[in-house]
A and B are shown apart, each in its own frame.
Chain A
Amino acid sequence: MRGARLGVAGVPWLLVPAALGTALVALPVVAMALTVEWSQFWSLVTSEPSRDALWLSLRTATVSTLLCLVLGVPLALVLARSHGRAATLLRSVVLLPLVLPPVVGGIALLQAFGRRGLLGGSFTALGVDIAFTTTAVVIAQTFVAMPFLVLSLEGALRSTGTRFEDVAATLGAAPSLTLRRVTLPLALPGLVSGTILAFARCLGEFGATITFAGSLQGTTRTLPLEIYLQREGDPRAAVALSLVLVAVAVLVIGLTRARRSSLTAGTP
């Protein structure tokens, strides 16, 4: 933070909209912190429904993030090393959830995996119901969060290019070894920030989840759903739980920054 200062590129009035923008983001969060009933905070966030929701959110977000990694890393590799119309098309498809309203995503998932959906029948025949189960929560979260990981990792892979992979090949490294020891380590900063972004997005998922998975306490009612529900019955609990999510978000951002600076410290 040596020499830290706010630059305005010689255009001082830019500070005004910049300050307004900051206020727009910061003020609501501050308001929440100021209006929460701290005396009851602990009991509000440790009530049984709250604990269920928090525990479910952490579990599903973790599993979904792992799923994002398993599916998203190969996808990012394919996208980063492909050219032409097919690659453009593939990228548009994969990034679709970024621009789609989550509710629409939930409807789409229902049409695919719901009991009367396209594939729902086949799953029912196998004795598996997906919609309105914890599995559905994980699928919904993966659906909306994976593009964040893919986008971030693909950017890192593209900016490095294939120069180091070429060197590795001429040194006798087979492609799988090059992937493990050169490609992925070099893309690690992008992979880490992508993973953290995806985790945060999983944790905050609401629209697709409530549409596709419903809101059953302990099974599909994640923290955002619980907050929404509590807003009707006990607004104080909603505010308290919201602060918990803010705390998790701040933690995630802090973690990203710390990881990034420790990773970039060793590279030029």
Chain B
Amino acid sequence: MTLDATVRLDDRAVDVSLSVADGETLALLGPNGAGKSSVLAALAGLVRPDAGHVTLDGRVLAGDTWVPAHDRDIALLAQDARLFPHLSVLDNVAFGPRARGAGRRGARATGERWLAEVGITAYAHRRPHELSGGQQQRVAVARALATEPRVLLVDEPLSALDVEAAPDVRDLLRRVLADRTAVVVTHDVVDAALLADRVAVMEHGRVVDEGPAARVLGRPRSDFGARFAGLNLVRGVAESGALRMPDGRLLHGLAEEREDPPVPIHDGARLTAVVAPTAVGVHLTHPHGSPRNALTATVTDLEPHGHLVRVRTDTLTADITPGAAAELGLRRGSAVVLSVKATEVHLHVTGTDL
């Protein structure tokens, strides 16, 4: 089965096309406010798109006709668990099967099976508010899956959880998403990497990059994707196997073959270089030895990044230790020299107009 959708939502300035193959998990990755959740609502049938279509396995859900949410076989896992507060945990999970015509006994049996699946059996007869956030989210997973949906939509399921609970639920999701047709909305690159087969990066209501998860996350082509993964993205033009940056300087690197067999990079091709910030060294003068790339730059910002300091400059971003930052006496406006080994610069052909 395949989910195929084009969704235009005028008031959210969203216009995206998505396609999810049978058993595939697509991550919709993007910053907050990019309209990701609105796309899910449109797929679920909770919001009527201003234009576009939604087709599931050949059946038109939106477009020429309108199939209401309860008739779509598409389940939605929201950011918060949203368990019905007036029903027991078990009745929450049995709600879907009941709604789809199962008898009380059958629905409860299904509910118990799914509660066992997510490891919440002991709490079956509690009220939702007696459970922790992580347990509630597990019940929500069970409740969504108990309806045997053809497509599972997941909206930032970990964002409302504390740090301890998130890994558990992520593992559970990874397990249940493994062979399911699903769309997962997230702003967390880790979630996208661990849960999705394919990733679509969404920015300002548009899909700006799409492809296999490994490619999109490892070598992002959108500005957002790179910032996201903390990677430097430098666009330019190919020249003698290196990248000529817009300011005229050359960046030497290694070509990442997208094609198999590899296609040589022709001069003039549009290139994108991807450089991990941890691969960038920061110096006050030109370093000894001979890094292929030594670029003068001006520090524009310093910010904490985990246990490192992220040094933003007018060219590349570098992650260095706080000790190194102190030793260099860096501050905004400092003139520095950035060094990167050519082996750490990954060049991708991004232009179709070779």
A interface residue numbers (CB < 8 A to B): 163-164, 166-175, 177-178, 181-182, 185-186, 188, 266-268
A-B contacts, 8 of them at CB < 8 A, read A167-B76, A169-B68, A171-B95, A175-B68, A177-B99, A186-B86, A266-B86, A267-B85
Min CB distance B177 to A, Å, is 17
> Are B85 and A172 touching (Cβ within 8 A)?
no
B44 within 8 A of A: yes
CB proximity to A under 8 Å, residues B121-168: 127, 129, 143-144, 147, 153
Complex Cα spacing A137 to B153, Å: 55
- Pairs A-B, 10 closest by C-beta atoms: A173-B99, A171-B96, A169-B69, A268-B129, A170-B76, A172-B99, A169-B70, A172-B100, A267-B85, A185-B86
B interface residue numbers (CB < 8 A to A): 44-46, 68-76, 78, 82, 84-86, 95-96, 99-100, 127, 129, 143-144, 147, 153
> Are A163 and B82 touching (Cβ within 8 A)?
yes
> Are B82 and A164 touching (Cβ within 8 A)?
yes
Which of chain B's residues have a CB closer than 8 A to the CB of A171? 70, 75, 95-96, 99, 143-144, 147
Min CB distance A48 to B, Å, is 47
Chain A residue with the shortest CB-CB distance to B47: A166
Min CB distance A170 to B, Å, is 4
> Are B76 and A168 touching (Cβ within 8 A)?
no
Complex Cα spacing A164 to B82, Å: 7
- Which secondary structure dominates chain A's binding surface? helix
> Are A172 and B96 touching (Cβ within 8 A)?
yes
Which of chain B's residues have a CB closer than 8 A to the CB of A164? 82, 84
> Are B69 and A170 touching (Cβ within 8 A)?
yes
CB contact between B95 and one of A163, A181, A188, A268 (< 8 Å): that residue: A181
> Are A172 and B70 touching (Cβ within 8 A)?
yes
Chain A residue with the shortest CB-CB distance to B95: A171
Which of chain B's residues have a CB closer than 8 A to the CB of A266? 85-86, 127
Complex Cα spacing A253 to B79, Å: 40
> Are A172 and B147 touching (Cβ within 8 A)?
yes
> Are B100 and A170 touching (Cβ within 8 A)?
no
> Are A268 and B99 touching (Cβ within 8 A)?
no
> Are A170 and B44 touching (Cβ within 8 A)?
yes
CB contact between A267 and one of B69, B73, B82, B129 (< 8 Å): that residue: B129
Complex Cα spacing A229 to B99, Å: 57
Complex Cα spacing A263 to B209, Å: 50
Complex Cα spacing A168 to B75, Å: 10
CB contact between A170 and one of B46, B127, B129 (< 8 Å): that residue: B46
CB contact between B45 and one of A167, A168, A169 (< 8 Å): that residue: A169
Min CB distance A177 to B, Å, is 6
CB contact between A173 and one of B70, B85, B127, B153 (< 8 Å): that residue: B70
Given contacts A174-B70, A182-B84, A185-B86, contact A168 B129 (CB under 8 A): no
